[in-house]
Amino acid sequence: MNGVLQKLGLDSKMALGLFGVLIFMMGDGLEQGWLSSYLMDHGLTVQESALLFSVYGFAVAIAAWLSGVLAEILGPRKAMIIGLALFVIGTLAFLTVGIKGMNLAIMIPTYSLRGLGYPLFAYSFLVWITYYAPSDKLGTAVGWFWFAFTGGLNVLGAYYSSFALPILGEIHTLWSALIFVALGATIAILLNKEDASQKNNNKKFETKAEALKYLTKGITIAFEIPKVGLGGLVRTINTAGAYGFVVFMPTYMMDAGFTRTEWLQIYGALWTTNIVFNLIFGIVGDKLGWRNTVMWFGGVGCAFFTLAFYYVPAFMGANYLAATIAAAGFGACLAGYVPLSALVPSLAPENKGAAMSILSLGAGLSTFVGPAIVGVFIGSLGAVGVIWIYTALYIVSAFLMKFVTLPKSGKVTQSKDLNNIKQAASN
């Protein structure tokens, strides 16, 4: 088994932790493809639904930002336990108090509390990977992380819902999330034991004031190393479109003639392709360069397939195969941004956790920005206007990547840079 894992760029510890992340994220993401349409069927407007998801996204962004520095201060395992606790408490509050009365004033804070949980759990594990993985395999390692992350959040969750909803109904399906979250956390936290090498990676602080000062590093590093800030901005754009789609695309696709089950399967196909290409582009990034992979496959590719995702149903109606191909193309190109998780922390080898906080903040902000664009513009510009805004943002992200380069990238190979970075990080 170890021989097979080594060929895949993993070892048993990393594989076990990633499997736990996969199961946890399945529980977190099982409602993504249908909750918005369910809420609108029960009285909310599209703008109110967008507001709910936008505030939820803001909570995700805060937790995502904290994940990197908390993982350094407390250690990844403790940060993951905090994330688990917040998710469970938030889910209980949302289901027992929030959604029960369909009162938006109660739903927003309870659903947002739930949103604080998964970034602390998942992104803290990603920080561990950036220290644990060999430097010349870091792109592959983060590719496996995003394989597990999106495989659970967007693929297994969507496909599970397509089968569970007709049997359990919406509310009981939401309750079942706690089963997957508990199982995934048990595997990733309890079974994946921390060893001495992991403990040595945690930063040592003499006083609480020193630890709090490092917490601010998760913001100031974006200004100290502007390339890190640009990387965070590109990461925000990365999945903004994907999180915006879940607010208005279910209604758009069903108006085009698709059933809810067909939409969930198309949505699942988008993320199934994404997890496969997370691995492919992790390896491609190690070979062809992280920046070029993000620029061309990520930015330019997502711009093209964002338009295709909308215009294929507009011109071809409920053509299941054509819509699935367009969605799959978008999912594949989303994975073109995977090398950011190797590139950005490598720009700050002595403060990888702080650099990852900026990247995680961008990931969290995308869950806010994507739905917020829908809420602000869909009333005046319609769905087509929102699609073109996302397209323009992807083009902007490709342009920004021209400036996000490793030090001395023109003089030495990426492999040599990585060896120097790894050596500096271990000193």
Taking residues 18-37, report their average pLDDT: 90
pLDDT at 9 over 90: no
* Residue 192 region by backbone torsions, left for phi larger than 0, else alpha for psi between -120 and 50, else beta: beta
- pLDDT tens figures, 330-359: 999 999 998 888 888 888 887 777 888 888
Length of the chain: 427
For residue 8, tell me if it sits in a domain: no
With CA atoms as reference, report the closest residue to 292 among 420, 418, 406. 406
- Dist CA 181 CA 294 (whole Å): 31
Q: Is the pLDDT of residue 150 over 50?
A: yes
Tell me how far apart the alpha carbons of residues 33 and 243 are, in angstroms, rounded to a whole number. Answer: 10
Q: 394, 306 in Cβ contact below 8 A?
A: yes
Q: Say if 70 falls within a structural domain.
A: yes
Which DSSP letter does residue 136 get?
G
DSSP codes of every residue in 213-268: HHHHHHHHHHHHSHHHHHHHHHHHHHTHHHHHHHHHHHHHHHHTT--HHHHHHHHH
pLDDT score at 356: 81
How many CB atoms are closer than 10 A to CB 213? 12
Q: Does 102 have pLDDT greater than 50?
A: yes
User: Would 102 be classed as within a structural domain?
Assistant: yes
pLDDT digits (tens, 9 = 90+) for 239-288: 999 989 988 998 899 999 999 889 888 988 898 898 889 888 888 888 88
Residue 1 lies in a domain: no
Give percent of the chain above pLDDT 70. Answer: 89
Between residues 27 and 64, which one has the greater pLDDT? Answer: 27
The mean pLDDT of the chain is: 84
Handedness of CA 331, 84, 73, 366 (dihedral sign): positive
Q: pLDDT for 292-335, tens place per residue?
A: 999 999 999 999 999 999 999 999 999 999 999 999 999 999 99
The pLDDT > 90 percentage for the chain reads 40
pLDDT of 299: 95
Whether 84 contacts 181, CB under 8 Å: yes
Structure tokens at 364: 């969290």
**Model confidence over 364-375: pLDDT tens digits?**
889 889 988 998
164 is a domain residue: yes
DSSP 203: P
pLDDT > 90? residue 50: no
CATH of residue 340: 1.20.1250.20
Say which residue the tokens 């009365």 belong to: 101
- Give the closest residue to 327 by CA, choosing from 258, 243, 392, 263: 263
Q: Which residue bears the tokens 């904290």?
A: 66
Q: How far is CA 123 from the centre of its chain?
A: 9
Domain with 86, as residue range(s), is 13-190+206-426
Quick: pLDDT tens for 190-237.
865 655 444 545 555 555 566 666 677 778 888 889 999 999 999 999
The Cα 309–Cα 330 span in angstroms is 7
Q: List alpha helices for 289-413, DSSP H.
A: 290-292, 301-316, 320-334, 340-346, 352-400
Q: 268 near 159, Cβ under 8 Å?
A: yes
pLDDT value of residue 172: 95
pLDDT confidence of 132, banded at 50, 70, 90?
Answer: confident
Q: Which two tokens stand for residue 360?
A: 């995680």
**DSSP string of 298-328, one letter each residue:** IIIHHHHHHHHHHHHHHHH-S-HHHHHHHHH
Structural domain includes residue 101: yes
Rounded average pLDDT over 379-400: 96
Could you tell me what percentage of the chain is helix, strand and coil, using 3-state DSSP and rounding each to the nearest 5?
Answer: 85, 0, 15
Q: Would you state the pLDDT for residue 427?
A: 29
**In this predicted structure, what is the pLDDT of residue 252?**
92
In the chain, the number of structural domains is 1
Query: pLDDT of 53-64, one tens digit each?
Result: 888 888 888 888
Residue 118 lies in a domain: yes
Q: What are φ and ψ of residue 90, in 5° steps?
A: -65, -40
pTM score over 0.75 = no
From residue 383, alpha-carbon distances to 162, 179, 376, 390 in Å are 25, 36, 11, 11
Question: Domain for residue 370, yes or no?
Answer: yes
Q: Specify whether the CB–CB gap between 113 and 52 falls below 8 A.
A: no
Give the pLDDT score at 421: 33
